[in-house]
Amino acid sequence: MPRQQVLVFRELPPDQLARLQAVHEVTVANPRIEAQRDAFFAALQRAQGLIGSSYPIDAEVLARAPALRVVSSISVGIDNYDLPALRARGVMLCHTPGVLTETTADTLFALVMATSRRLVELANHVREGRWQRNIDERLFGWDVHGKTLGIVGFGRIGQALARRAALGFGMPVLFHNRSAVDVPAELPALAAHARQLPLHDVLAQSDIVALTVPLTDETRGLMDAARFAVMKPGAIFVNGSRGGVVDEAALLQALDGGHLRAAGLDVFATEPLPLDSPLRTHPKVTPLPHIGSATHETRQAMAELATSNLLQALAGERPRATVG
Ligand code: 8YV
């Protein structure tokens, strides 16, 4: 098979970069880094394969990639990719589902704990020398065990989150999902713990609401002022999906007006979060820098899968994880 031109647009672990270099001509250029952007677009002109994440591959980029055959995303989310434009060009899209499910569910449950028990706020209370006497009710958190968890989006990550909540913390789980889920048949361990309900009922009956939906035309702006108003007074909101699913101004109003108790956010409409965003310093918000899958083990596994997808596609084989 002739050596082909591969463009890596997000850093790969050395062992995975070496796998690509052993077979193809590889250029590494991350367009999110100003100093590498010209190199990215120069290499794009001759690239048959792309591998990376967190950069929009749209019709404009594709128009500058006349030889492109496959894009291998180091992500499970595919909202950065213009699917109709890729289809129109016959460019295959691969991604990395499955390998990051448990890690991302861990992150989401960590946000449930951190917001409910005020972990970051109270750690800072100690760090900043303000722990001068036993804490009182002004610094108490709220129990997690036994509370009702509402999950919006019941795919792999939502189901993994439900297992943690129901089987680990005795939490009844209510979930909304676009398609019907036969819990007794598909998820027998959750049969006695998880119920599918319409979105309104999940929001209205849950003490904690967690988003795990993908960002699509249907879910963009899903959590708006009306839906935050449906949530229980004093409820906690956690977002591990995409920032674009949330009307952030409406979230701030729900927090500032006292309707919502707290919010744990791993994703934002604009990332990195702008320094002037009120979400960055809001006392009721626990912000994380999009660390859903960001562990050494899982990012290595994602890179390995994405590299295998690309090598297989360029060799004319069927990759393990294609989109569509
Ligand atoms: C990563 C993610 O943040 O997989 C996704 O969709 O959001 C995360 O795993 C990111 O895409 C890094 O590759």
Q: Compute, in angstroms, the gap from residue 205 CA to the centroid of ligand 1.
A: 30
Residue 320 inside a domain? The answer is no
176 plus 270 within the same structural domain: yes
115 plus 65 within the same structural domain: no
pLDDT, residue 130, reads 98
204 plus 85 within the same structural domain: no
Please give the Cα distance from 59 to 89 (Å, whole number). 9
52 plus 162 within the same structural domain: no
Q: Cβ atoms within 10 A of the Cβ of 267, count? A: 23
Residue 324 inside a domain? The answer is no
- For the entire predicted model, the pTM comes to 0.97
Site to substitute for ligand 1 among 10, 30, 53, 96, most atoms within 8 A of C-beta? 53
118 plus 9 within the same structural domain: no
Residue 65 inside a domain? The answer is yes
79 plus 139 within the same structural domain: no
Beta carbons of 41 and 302 less than 8 angstroms apart: no
122 plus 268 within the same structural domain: yes
213 plus 121 within the same structural domain: yes
The residue type of 7 is L
88 plus 112 within the same structural domain: no
pLDDT, residue 135, reads 96
Q: pLDDT tens for the chain, 324 residues: list them.
A: 789 999 999 999 999 999 999 999 999 999 999 999 999 999 999 999 999 999 999 999 999 999 999 999 999 999 999 999 999 999 999 999 999 999 999 999 999 999 999 999 999 999 999 999 999 999 999 999 999 999 999 999 999 999 999 999 999 999 999 999 999 999 999 999 999 999 999 999 999 999 999 999 999 999 999 999 999 999 999 999 999 999 999 999 999 999 999 999 999 999 999 999 999 999 999 999 999 999 999 999 999 999 999 999 999 999 999 998
Residue 124 inside a domain? The answer is yes
78 CA closest ligand 1 atom index: 6
Q: Which residues line ligand 1 (CB under 6 A)?
A: 53-54, 74-77, 100, 290, 292-293
Non-local (6+) Cβ contacts of 35 within 8 A are none
Q: Name the token pair of 164.
A: 């943690």
75 CA closest ligand 1 atom index: 4
Please give the Cα distance from 63 to 45 (Å, whole number). 9
Q: Compute, in angstroms, the gap from residue 53 CA to the centroid of ligand 1.
A: 7
Q: Compute, in angstroms, the gap from residue 319 CA to the centroid of ligand 1.
A: 19
Residue 322 inside a domain? The answer is no
91 plus 113 within the same structural domain: no
φ, ψ (nearest 5 deg) of residue 82: -80, 90
Residue 184 inside a domain? The answer is yes
239 plus 268 within the same structural domain: yes
165 plus 245 within the same structural domain: yes
Nearest Cα residue to atom 12 of ligand 1: 75
**Residue range(s) defining the domain that contains residue 57:** 5-99+297-314
Number of separate domains in the chain: 2
Residue 67 inside a domain? The answer is yes
Residue 233 inside a domain? The answer is yes
CATH number at residue 221: 3.40.50.720
Over the chain, what HEC string results?
Answer: CCCCEEEECCCCCHHHHHHHHCCCEEEECCCCCHHHHHHHHHHHCCCCEEEECCCCECHHHHHCCCCCCEEEECCCCCCCECHHHHHHHCCEEECCCCCCHHHHHHHHHHHHHHHHCCHHHHHHHHHCCCCCCCCCHHHCCCCCCCCCEEEECCCHHHHHHHHHHHHHHCCCEEEECCCCCCHHHHCHHHCCCEEECCHHHHHHHCCEEEECCCCCCCCCCCECHHHHHHCCCCEEEEECCCHHHECHHHHHHHHHCCCEEEEEECCCCCCCCCCCCHHHCCCCEEECCCCCCCCHHHHHHHHHHHHHHHHHHHCCCCCCCECC
Non-local (6+) Cβ contacts of 302 within 8 A are 74, 75, 96, 99, 100, 293
Please give the Cα distance from 210 to 109 (Å, whole number). 9
pLDDT, residue 1, reads 75
Residues acting as catalytic residues: 242, 271, 290
